[in-house]
Chain A
Amino acid sequence: MADTVDLRAGFRAGLPFLLPTLALGVSFGVLAQPVMGTVAPIAMSVFVFAGAAQFASLSVLAAGGAAGAAIAAGLLMNARFLPMGFAIAPSLPGRAAARAAQGQAIVDASWAISSRGDGTFDRGILFGATLVQGTGWIAGTVAGVLGGSALSDPEQFGLDAIFPAFYLALLFEEARHRRAIAVALLGAAITLALMPVAPPGVPVIAASLAALLGLRGR
């Protein structure tokens, strides 16, 4: 494993996400401000830094739900970082504390983009792409709570299709052999089957079980 960390490759790789992440951040800020005030949404974007979980918790709080329910909704949404963490772990060097710190850079797009497709990950790309998205997410949240509603309807520009399109592009890279294709199809089926019935977050993390097909002999 190379020990040099090339952040620039990560910046380049993460650049396509700057605008959509910014727009999502604005949406979060606009929606969160009436429920949480001005400072709390920004603090949340800085310290939690997980879009889907923040939206999930916000919707519970906005409906008058208790903190416990909001926390559970958010953590369930973020549980997918568990299998992602296990997958990227062998590519993160250093002592336990250093590895734990590096693991904090895991977010969907960065994790996916840093995958080399052979089970190893490029941590420079992970860090760089996460810095880009963190900047967009936090700046967007600030703009949103301060009333920047100009970008609050990212759907008008089709920005909400950018993330699934991007994951599809990475999937094309990953699913090169028959077993990976089978796993991808199974994962997609698990998610689609669970979405109407399971709490948000469960359908995505449950799909990681499809990777257990790797236990079967070749």
Chain B
Amino acid sequence: MTAVWTTIVALALGTMAIKAVGPVALGGREPPPRAAAVIALVAPALLAALVVYETVVSEDGGVELDARLVGVAAAALALVLRLPLLAVVGLAALATAVTRALF
């Protein structure tokens, strides 16, 4: 059991530190223009990464193509049709669930 609690304490402290670094280092003031240009692009970079990762990740961190692809494709279609956000995620879940039930 000690390995479990060691993991929890270290992971909690480490995660707090990771989350604090950015805000402490350059919080509350305007960054220089070149840094601002990079910062503004972190969101699209990480969002695209999260879309890919959450869509195809397997249990061991590798790539696995399954019904999630259908769900995300349905979400893309809903976005192109300018449906509201709740409809987008709802359709994604529905399409994924239906695909799983059928195959």
Contact = CB atoms under 8 A, between A and B. Distances in A.
Interface of A: 16, 35-37, 40, 43-44, 47-50, 53-54, 56-57, 59, 61, 66-67, 70-71, 74-75, 78-90, 92-94, 96, 99-100, 102-104, 106, 108, 112, 115, 117-119, 155-172, 174-175, 179-181, 183-188, 190-192, 195-196, 199-200, 203-204, 207-215
B47 A82 contact: no
Contact of B15 (A81, A88, A112, A162): A81
Contacts of A188: 48-49, 51-52
B72 A187 contact: no
Residue among B1, B41, B51, B94 having the largest count of chain A Cβ atoms under 10 Å: B41
A13 B28 CA distance: 24
Contacts of B71: 158, 161, 164-165
B23 A103 contact: yes
A165 B41 contact: no
B52 A163 contact: no
Contacts, number: 315
Interface of B: 1-12, 14-16, 18-31, 34, 36-57, 59-63, 67-68, 71-72, 74-76, 79, 85-86, 88-89, 91-100
B61 A103 contact: no
A57 B22 contact: no
B9 to A, nearest CB: 8
A112 B21 CA distance: 18
A211 B8 contact: no
B48 A184 contact: yes
A107 to B, nearest CB: 9
Given A100-B23, A106-B19, A174-B43, A158 B51 contact: no
A195 B21 contact: no
Contact of B20 (A104, A195, A203): A104
Contacts of A187: 44-49
Contacts of B34: 214-215
21 contacts: A40-B5, A48-B8, A79-B18, A86-B21, A99-B24, A108-B50, A158-B98, A161-B71, A161-B72, A161-B92, A164-B68, A170-B47, A171-B44, A183-B45, A184-B47, A187-B48, A187-B49, A195-B62, A195-B63, A200-B60, A203-B49
Contacts of A204: 46, 49-50, 53
Contacts of A66: 3
Nearest to A19: B93
A67 B97 contact: no
B95 A158 contact: yes
A191 B19 CA distance: 22
B96 A85 contact: no
